[in-house]
Chains A and B, each alone.
Chain A
Amino acid sequence: AQTVTQSQPEMSVQEAETVTLSCTYDTSENNYYLFWYKQPPSRQMILVIRQEAYKQQNATENRFSVNFQKAAKSFSLKISDSQLGDTAMYFCAFMNYGGATNKLIFGTGTLLAVQP
């Protein structure tokens, strides 16, 4: 069974600085997808970024980028130029390729606080 681990329960960063959130996962599959979702206090889960495991190039989305290390099964999220609106719980999630469904397996989350 796949598992997702986020070892940092809480992190803090100053506004305009850069922060990296860690995520590791365990799977015996070769093809899969990885996601980062953001859950602000308003509680809606918002997709931040998506990575296909068969692509070596790291995904980027404006100030958000990932460092995908397939051999190490690591998928960290870097947030550049942090903004107050980035304050949220961040969840790393795994989706198996070609499974019965596209269910997501989530990590326990990292609570990020951006300080003014």
Chain B
Amino acid sequence: EPEVTQTPSHQVTQMGQEVILRCVPISNHLYFYWYRQILGQKVEFLVSFYNNEISEKSEIFDDQFSVERPDGSNFTLKIRSTKLEDSAMYFCASSGTGVGQPQHFGDGTRLSIL
């Protein structure tokens, strides 16, 4: 069964540095998402992406964050000038066309800001 893959599985970064989290969605999916889960808390929506542009973003997704689909397979989340509170698990997800299609998640990237 096709899977969403995320790299790296764990990223440790100094505060103030930039990080790029990478995702390869399922190949025939057209909707892509990033979610965040701070340790012990619920999963929170960050951003959705369709047709090479952001379709919706949460209030968490401020100017510090950006997403890109640099080629036909990768979907990246960039976090500039990282802060301690950016430490979390970041999940990428993708879904097919059609209303109510379930989202398929990757294994997540654990981001630790020191």
Q: Are B42 and A102 in contact (CB under 8 A)?
A: no
Chief secondary structure at chain A's binding surface: loop
Question: Is residue B27 contacting chain A, with contact meaning CB distance below 8 A?
Answer: no
For B50, the chain A residues whose CB sits under 8 A away are: 101
Cα of A108 to Cα of B44 in the assembled complex, Å: 10
Chain B residues within 8 Å of A102, by CB = 31, 48, 95, 99-101, 103
How many interface residues does chain A have, given as a range?
A: 20 to 34
Given A33-B100, A106-B42, A45-B105 contact (CB < 8 Å): yes
Contact with B along A89-103 (1 / 0, CB 8 A): 001000101111111
* B107 close to A98 (CB less than 8 A): no
Q: Mark A23-54, 1 if CB is under 8 A from B, else 0.
A: 00000000001010100001111110010100
Q: Taking the nearest CB of chain B, how far is it from the CB of A39, in angstroms?
A: 9
* Residue B43 interfacial (CB < 8 Å): yes
A108 pairs with B42, CB closer than 8 A: yes
B33 within 8 A of A: yes
The answer to whether A95 and B42 have CB atoms under 8 Å apart is no
- Interface of B: prevailing SS: strand
A103 in contact with B42 (CB, 8 Å): no
B89: interface (CB < 8 Å): yes
B55-A43 in contact (CB<8A): no
Q: Are B56 and A103 in contact (CB under 8 A)?
A: yes
**Residues 1 to 58 of chain B near chain A (Cβ within 8 Å):** 31, 33, 35, 41-45, 48, 50, 55-56
Residue in B35, B41, B45, B108 whose beta carbon sits within 8 Å of that of A44 in the complex:
B108
**Chain B residues numbered 76-98 whose CB sits less than 8 Å from any CB in chain A:** 89, 91, 93, 95
How far does the alpha carbon of A42 sit from the alpha carbon of B105 in the complex, in Å? 13
Could you tell me the distance in whole angstroms from the C-beta of A38 to the nearest C-beta in chain B? 11
The residues of B with any CB-CB pair to A shorter than 8 Å are 31, 33, 35, 41-45, 48, 50, 55-56, 89, 91, 93, 95, 99-108
Q: A35-B102, A52-B100, A107-B42 are in contact. List 10 more A-B contacts (CB 8 A).
A: A33-B100, A42-B107, A44-B108, A45-B91, A45-B108, A97-B99, A98-B99, A102-B31, A102-B100, A106-B42
